[in-house]
């Protein structure tokens, strides 16, 4: 990608050190989640373009798009970070209480049908609820 931009200019734009840009370019490290929104905006495309199909994939995509840690997102939703981790990995079921919190969170974010983070009208959450 040729943008006629120096590493220093890019570092300033993304809010990182020049050494960080070098490490990313030389594959010595990967950008952390908190920088992904700025990188996506700079590049003009999503770094993970696959459409999420499960609740876990949707939660992970939302969290990455927002540049959040599991702890940060779990706090916003009102659930334990371990629960969020299991949901993102599609391990096990969730309680009805957790399901309600997920629905309330995504509804409060105005993430309705057609939005990239849509939970498909609660259908995915219903699949993850414990009987």
pLDDT in tens, 59-102: 888 888 888 999 999 999 999 999 999 999 988 788 888 888 98
CATH 1.10.1040.10 given to domain 55-128: no
Indicate the helix (H) or strand (E) that contains 69.
none
Q: Domains of the chain: which residue ranges?
A: 7-43, 55-128
The answer to whether 106 touches 117, Cβ cutoff 8 Å, is yes
- Band of pLDDT at residue 125, cut at 50, 70 and 90: low
pLDDT in tens, 17-40: 999 999 988 889 888 878 888 888
**What is the structure's pLDDT at 85?**
95
């Amino acid at each position: 990608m040729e943008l006629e931009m120096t590493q220093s200019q890019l570092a300033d734009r993304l809010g990182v050190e020049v050494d960080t840009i070098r490490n990313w370019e030389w594959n010595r490290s990967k950008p952390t989640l908190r920088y992904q929104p700025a990188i996506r905006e700079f590049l003009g495309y999503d770094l993970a373009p696959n459409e999420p199909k499960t609740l876990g994939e949707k939660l992970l995509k939302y969290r990455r798009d927002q540049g959040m840690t599991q702890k940060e997102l779990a706090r916003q939703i009102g659930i334990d970070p371990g629960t969020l981790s299991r949901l993102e990995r599609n391990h096990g079921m969730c309680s009805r209480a957790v399901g309600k919190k997920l629905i309330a969170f995504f509804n409060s974010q105005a993430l309705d049908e057609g939005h990239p983070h849509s939970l498909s009208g609660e259908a995915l959450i219903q699949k993850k609820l414990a009987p």
